[in-house]
Amino acid sequence: MAHAFRRWNVDVRRPHEDLDRFYERDDTDLLNGDYHVRTLLEITLHALRSNARRELSAVIGPADERVLDRTLNNPFACQDLPWWMCRIGV
């Protein structure tokens, strides 16, 4: 969880030209069985009790806002995907 949190915060600060990589999985992700880090954070949020959920949401929130500010909704993305996977860099 700590790795996912650190990686999400690092990834959202990448330059615009690296945003495509931000949504991809590389070979190390596949070898480790790693999911998209924001998905892991979301799973964790749902598993926590309300106080801990609020605390984690508060620290994840600024990174989420940065993603929303730097991207646009992708109208061609599958609507079943979570919001962070339906964004494109601008």
Which structural domain range is residue 13 located in? 2-89
pLDDT digits (tens, 9 = 90+) for 29-78: 534 445 688 999 999 999 999 999 999 999 999 999 999 999 999 999 99
Eight-class DSSP state of 75: T
According to DSSP, the residues that pair with 73 across neighbouring strands are 87
What's the pLDDT at 32?
Answer: 45
Whether residue 17 is predicted with pLDDT greater than 80 in this model: the reply is: no
Quote the number of domains for the chain: 1
Whole-model pTM: value is: 0.75
What's the pLDDT at 12?
Answer: 84
pLDDT band at 11 (very low <50, low <70, confident <90, very high): confident
Give first-to-last CA distance, the chain, whole Å.
Answer: 29
